[in-house]
Chains A and B, each alone.
Chain A
């Protein structure tokens, strides 16, 4: 059959009626793309713990990188809901693939677009949009995770350049990146963004091996030893911790949608399996305990869909706050992880194999619940917003 749309997203609340025709086209196109390019190969790459190196070009061709940016810079001028639906579809395929896209779009292209000079934008964005150039985002350090304000990576001014020293850890796309958006302190202790390019002397990107999660995503370390960074590689508009945190808001917004995709895939697989698998002479879907699991999954997905949709509307209006984004990221990732666990049980022993996507989603989501602000840190962000008292400073 021409259209390989062998997936229909659950829509128990007629949420599709809230989407525009353009939103539906975006979703349908990404769904076809994911069905054609990601789902047939991803299990193998994940099993081998290998990043599919051909994927960036494919993402570039379909327009997954920087889809909300102006067309002048290679973007697609789509709105926040379209962007969210794209993340949902890609993460239905694999959280590692969604991570690759989130980093490139929200953590590399977005800061260059927002804090970069016109020259930097013209130079980098079109190549990043096409996937000819890959980027990564270096904030976390070996000693600074949830508390990035204490970062140790520093740069000092030397005549016409800066000298950068330090390291970043757990960096998605690091080993494959041509460009790193690096957050470091200047001599005054102020956090600024620097564009560090592969090939600069003293810059290396060792890969992190033996991950049980996001195995098809490339994760590494960024090491800076006396790296000479030209002064024009400073992001002029970046100033203070606020700048990287604003990038994280963009990425977390996408994760809130993405998690729904992973949950939908687990739910769809569990529902199909429950209807086909027979025990005690009946489909296991006929047992109340299995129905309870499925009904709860459908309920949680519906609530998460509504959160995403409303957050998308707020974002389109320029009103989405950090606390609102934290709420959605936190809720939806936990929801997806719970659904993955329940779905695994419904699949019985089959659920632990790579013949079904469940274990891969389950293990992937263990990263998603930790990165971009841990599950508990998002509680503290919300708590601070509600009480006016930050508990983490």
Chain B
């Protein structure tokens, strides 16, 4: 089985976000990057499927050279090789185009990625990739088992779960608890040194969106504690201050 796992390199969840260039760019100074958390789940499941069924796991990242630590970590976790498309991934259509271009050259049985990246949280890429390749795309997948050429999938839907069966090849957006996310061990990090990481230039440059500007959400107000016995005060504050009643 040939599995492609698409991973993002995103600011750590504890990062303090600020902007530069007239609020049109993220200020990257001092930001620590991690593998997209949902992508981590996708990769962990891919490595487990490889252990069960054999085959290969290739990691794909659309990103500039500074994403290498994230790619090396994926190799250390158990991917066999990696491809980096050398471009800044700000536009979902552009990223999907890059993934589709790589996928067309290689017959993957599964193309896995996170349900969304946690920087822009677009959640569009798997859908667009599926459309570009003419393959079914399903998201968010919380359980995935493979039997021969069939995939048994559990997908989260509004207020419940959806049990699906589909024939490979497939494009899937993944989330917990599809697998327990893995921490690479030190020997894995060593063996990642000799695993191939191919850098390719982007195919096309069709961005459909342009950043006009970023804005931070307003700071959270301080919490006011109102004793339980003073319900009237609460009602009057909700009326006069919060103006929600």
A interface residues with partner B (beta carbon < 8 Å): 1-3, 5-9, 11, 14, 16, 21-22, 24-26, 28-29, 32-33, 36, 61-64, 67, 71, 76-78, 82, 86
Contact = CB atoms under 8 A, between A and B. Distances in A.
Interface in B171-204: 176, 181, 183-190, 192-193
Given A2-B37, A5-B13, A26 B186 contact: yes
Interface string B53-75: 00000000000000011001100
B83 interface: no
Contact of A78 (B13, B183, B184, B189): B189
B69 A76 contact: no
Contacts of B15: 8
B72 A8 contact: no
Given A2-B41, A8-B15, A61 B185 contact: yes
Nearest to A34: B183
A318 B137 CA distance: 54
23 contacts: A1-B118, A2-B38, A2-B40, A2-B176, A5-B14, A5-B32, A6-B13, A9-B32, A11-B30, A14-B30, A22-B69, A22-B189, A22-B192, A24-B69, A25-B73, A25-B76, A29-B183, A29-B185, A32-B183, A67-B186, A71-B187, A78-B189, A78-B190
Nearest to B14: A8
B12 interface: yes
A78 B72 contact: no
A26 B176 CA distance: 24
A62 B183 contact: yes
A28 B73 contact: yes
A77 B69 contact: no
Contact of A29 (B32, B41, B73, B176): B73
Contact of A28 (B34, B68, B176): B34
Contacts of A3: 12-13, 34-35, 37, 40, 181
Nearest to A60: B185
B15 to A, nearest CB: 7
A2 B181 contact: yes
Contacts of A63: 185-189
Given A2-B41, A25-B184, A76 B34 contact: no
Given A26-B186, A76-B189, A78-B189, A21 B69 contact: yes
Q: Which of A5, A11, A25, A64 has the most CB of B within 10 A?
A: A25
A71 B189 CA distance: 12
Contacts of B34: 3, 5, 28
B189 A33 contact: no
Given A3-B34, A76-B187, 18 more contacts: A1-B13, A2-B37, A2-B41, A2-B176, A3-B12, A3-B35, A6-B13, A6-B14, A7-B14, A14-B30, A21-B68, A24-B69, A29-B185, A63-B187, A63-B189, A76-B185, A78-B189, A78-B190
B38 to A, nearest CB: 7
A109 B12 CA distance: 35
Nearest to B10: A3
Interface of B: 12-15, 30, 32, 34-35, 37-38, 40-41, 68-69, 72-73, 76, 118, 176, 181, 183-190, 192-193
Contacts of A7: 14
B78 to A, nearest CB: 13
B185 A71 contact: no
A291 B14 CA distance: 21
A62 B185 CA distance: 4
A354 to B, nearest CB: 23
B195 to A, nearest CB: 12
A24 B68 CA distance: 10
Contact of B72 (A21, A32, A67): A21
Contacts of B68: 21
Contact of A22 (B13, B72, B183): B72
B67 to A, nearest CB: 9
B25 to A, nearest CB: 19
Contacts of B181: 2-3
Closest 3 A/B residue pairs (Cβ): A63-B186, A2-B37, A76-B186
Given A1-B37, A2-B181, A7-B14, A71 B190 contact: yes
A82 B193 CA distance: 14
Nearest to A61: B185
Contacts of B183: 29, 32-33, 36, 62
B174 to A, nearest CB: 10
A217 to B, nearest CB: 22
Q: Which of A29, A36, A76 has the most CB of B within 10 A?
A: A29
Nearest to A24: B69
B189 A25 contact: yes
A109 to B, nearest CB: 13
A11 B73 CA distance: 21
A36 B184 CA distance: 13
Q: Which of A1, A7, A28, A77 has the most CB of B within 10 A?
A: A28
Nearest to A1: B37
A25 B30 contact: no
B186 A62 contact: yes
A61 B184 CA distance: 10
Q: Which of B72, B76, B183, B187 has the most CB of A within 10 A?
A: B183
Given A7-B14, A8-B12, A24-B69, A29 B184 contact: yes
B199 to A, nearest CB: 13
Given A29-B73, A63-B187, A22 B14 contact: no
